[in-house]
Amino acid sequence: MARMLAILITFFFLLTACEDSESALPDSIEQPPSSDQSQDSGDTENEVMTITPLMISNGEDVQFIDWTSNEEVIYISSYNGESSINLYNLVSGENNPLFITQGFIQIVEVSPDKEQLLVQVSSIDHEATLHILALNGKQLSTINIPSSEIYMDWNEKNPSQILVTSFSEDWSFQSYLWNIETSELTTLQIEQPFSEWIGEESLQYLDWNVEQPELLAPLKRMDLDSNDLSVVTKDIYYTKSYGDWFFTLAPSSQNEDKGVYQFYNATSGQIGSFTAFHLNRFSEWVVPYHDFVESENRFYFFQPLEGGDIDFYEEDFVLSSYSLTNGDTNIVMEGLENKPLQCSPNGGYCLYGYQLEQVISIQSGKVTSLISEGIKKADAM
C-alpha cells in the first residue's frame, strides 16, 4: 500500500527534466539549423502569428490547458468563487466562455481529435462529477463516480472511450470503461490503476510491486476483447502511450547518469532509441517534460546538461526534438527551465510553463507571455 501511495503521488506531481548542450550533448544531437535550413516545422514565415495576450482582472487565476487548433487554446479562469472554461483565440483575442460553475474545476482535458472536452468539477465528498463538452459548450455526457481521486486516459484511436480509475481514501481503486456516446460505465479488472490505451482495444501499464518499493517494473499489455495479458518489455521506469506507438524510459547499461528512450510501434516493435542525461531526486528519477506532434511525427522533450542529483543541478535545460520518421534529434532552444509543454497541432508553437502561460515559437525561439499586464497589446512572434 505504501508503494501504491508513492505511485499516486509521483503520478500527480511528476516533475521532469531532459536534454544536453553543445559541450555535453550525445553525438546524435544536432545543433540548431542555420537560418537558411528547413527545420521541418509547421511554423513557416507565412504562418508566423501575432499573439494577443489575454487581459485578466486583479485576483483572477488562469490555467491554460491545451490547443484546440493552431490558433485557439482552452483555459480555466477562477475569480470571485466562480470558475469558467474558455476558448481563446491567440491571434484575434476573441474569448468564448464554454462552461461556468460555482466552485472549483479540477480537471479539463482536450480530446485527442480536438473536438471535445473532459471536465471534472468539485461535487459532494467522495464523488466525482465528469462531463463531456463539445467545443461550443454543449454537454454531451455526464456521469458521477464514487471516488476521492480520479485518473483518466482518453482513447486516442477511439475518442468515444475513456478509461476512468477511481480511488478510495485507502487508495484502493476500481477501473471503468466510459462510453461517452451512451454514458455507460463498464467495470474493468486491471492489476494497476494507471493504465494507458495502446491502439484501439488494448491497455498497458507498468506492473509495480505494491509490497516492495522498486525502481523498475515490467511493462504489461491487456487485450480488452480476449483479456489476454502479455509482457511487452522489462525493467522500465516510465512509459507514455500516443495511440499506435509508445516510448519507455530505462537506465543506460553504459552510463549511470543517462537514461535510454526507446520508441515502439504497438504492433511492429521498436522503431528507434537514444540516450540522454537524467536527474534524480532521492531514489526517484526526474522524468522530463515532453510532448508529441503527430503532424510532424516528432517528439519534443527537455534534457539537462549533465546527470546527477536535481537538488545540486544549477544549469539550464535544452528543448530538443526527435523524429520518429528518420531518428534525427535536434536542438530547438537552449537556456530554458524544465516546465510543462503542450505543442500546437502543426508543431509551430508550444504552450510552456507551470500554468502553460507562455508560448514558445519553434521557428524563432522567442518566448511570449499569454497574459497581459494591465494594457492589452499584441506581441509579434
Adjacency order of strands within the sheet including 116-121: 105-110, 116-121, 127-134, 139-146
Q: What is the pLDDT of residues 322-379, one digit of tens each?
A: 999 999 999 999 999 999 999 999 999 999 999 999 999 999 999 999 998 654 333 4
Angle at 241 between CA 38 and CA 228, to 5 degrees: 145
Tell me 10's DSSP state: H
Confidence of residue 307 (pLDDT cuts 50, 70, 90): very high
* Chain position carrying cell 479562469: 77
> Which residue ranges make up each domain of the chain?
2-380
Confirm if 98 and 138 have CB atoms less than 8 A apart. Answer: no
Query: In the structure grid, which three cell numbers stand for residue 34, read together?
Result: 542555420
* Chain position carrying cell 511487452: 232
CA atoms within 13 A on the CB side of 371: 18
- HEC string of 83-110 equals EEEEEEECCCCCEEEEEEEECCEEEEEE
Residue from 162, 186, 182, 184 nearest 174 by CA: 186
Q: What is the pLDDT of residues 124-169, one digit of tens each?
A: 778 899 999 999 999 999 999 999 999 999 999 999 999 999 999 9
Confirm if 249 and 236 have CB atoms less than 8 A apart. Answer: yes
Query: In the structure grid, which three cell numbers stand for residue 70, read together?
Result: 493552431
Phi, psi angle pair for 49, to nearest 5°: -95, 150
Could you please report the per-residue DSSP string of 303-318?
Answer: EESS-EEGGG--S-EE
Q: What is the pLDDT of residues 11-64, one digit of tens each?
A: 433 333 333 333 334 433 434 333 333 344 444 444 678 999 999 998 899 999
CA 26/CA 274 separation, integer angstroms: 9
The pLDDT value given to residue 5: 39
- In CATH, the number for domain 2-380 is 2.130.10.10
Query: In the structure grid, which three cell numbers stand for residue 88, read together?
Result: 481563446
Rg value, the chain, Cα: 21
The pLDDT value given to residue 211: 84
CA 194/CA 205 separation, integer angstroms: 6
Q: Is 335 left (phi over 0), alpha (psi -120 to 50) or beta?
A: left
